[in-house]
Amino acid sequence: MTPLTTRLRPGDLVEVRAPDEILQTLDVDGTLDHLPFMPEMIELCGKRFSVSRRVLKTCYTGLNLYDAMRRFRGDDVVTLDGVRCSGAAHDGCQKACLIFWREAWLRKVEPAAVQPRVEPEARQRLRACLKTSTGPQTYFCQASELLNATLDVPRREQLRTCVSEVRAGNRTILGMAHGIATWLYWKIRRRLRGEYARGRSASTPVAGLNLKAGDWVEVKSMASIRETLNEAGYNRGLYFTPDMRRLCGGQHRVDGRIDKIIVDGTGEMRQLRNTVRLEGSVCGCDDLKLGGCSRCEVSYWREIWLRRVPSR
């Protein structure tokens, strides 16, 4: 395995390779080591971004909420600053996943280097070799193939990955120490007192505000939110994570609705109701997983947890 010092690191400026170069790396399913290159990524060919993180481990929402950690088969995956999937080629999926990039699809460049022009014909050749579904009701994307592209990270190895996160430049020593302390606090608290956002409802209530992108909302108090949750901290299958409490009482702008998402590992499109995402609100993995993860999933907000406020 190539040492980390010779690989891409957070902050490096990279350019997405040309379509024909990427095509040479893909198998008949349009994947590299089981990780799909998706049609939504084609328009980024030739463009430049900063590396956000090396992906040494990632969460998988289909397994146990607290212990589900996976790693890619090869240490050659990174994320780029702010580059999320639009879902345009997957029936408008609104999951907004942070896209994973194999290093073979990128090249490190200097700021002064001339950016190449990508021919439309080259984009079409690449698009023709990519698939988006495996059946009438199942989709093919990085989320659907996450289990195939990754391996389980046993609990005994998770502490070792925390050291690797620091070595890779993903986090500072102090930042990782804070993350471990946060995880340990919530783990102990959960064992002693149960879920932080534990409610009493057997059948959780439903409410809608018909929110849309750009609307302003205020997050209700924890006391009000608990009234909408069951004893495990869920409202109709959606978990209220401990880090979401930090937004209680604050006003935030709606980033968009979440009406349908592709399920990790299955490719099934799942329908959601009365659910939105808020600008800047992403999963706080430190509360749930040792050392956090690199996926930075968007947080899902039930409209019953919010109240509408006048536009600002």
pLDDT in tens, 57-116: 998 876 555 557 889 988 899 999 999 999 999 999 999 999 999 999 999 999 988 888
Residue 190 lies in a domain: no
pLDDT at position 195 is 81
**E strand intervals along 42-176:** 48-54, 58-59, 69-72, 77-80, 101-102, 106-108, 133-135, 138-139, 150-152
**Final residue of a structural domain among 105, 128, 156:** 156
Residue 148 lies in a domain: yes
Q: What's the average model confidence in pLDDT over 157-170?
A: 89
Residue 187 lies in a domain: no
Angle between helices 155-167 and 173-193 (to 10 degrees): 150
Taking alpha carbons only, the member of 86, 100, 95, 109 closest to residue 17 is 109
Give the Cα separation of 173 and 282 in Å (integer): 22
User: Which residue range is the domain that position 300 belongs to?
Assistant: 216-309
Please state the pTM of the whole predicted model. 0.90
User: Are residue 136 and residue 30 in the same domain, yes or no?
Assistant: yes
Give the Cα separation of 76 and 9 in Å (integer): 11
Is the model's pLDDT at 50 over the cut of 90? yes
pLDDT at position 216 is 96
Residue 183 lies in a domain: no
245-258 pLDDT per residue, tens: 999 999 999 999 99
Is the model's pLDDT at 286 over the cut of 80? no
Residue 130 lies in a domain: yes
Find the farthest-apart pair of alpha carbons in the chain and give their distance in angstroms, rounded.
61
User: Are residue 32 and residue 109 in the same domain, yes or no?
Assistant: yes
Taking alpha carbons only, the member of 170, 194, 145, 195 closest to residue 30 is 145
Q: What share of the chain is helix, strand, coil (3-state, %, to 5)?
A: 25, 25, 50
Number of structural domains (the chain) is 2
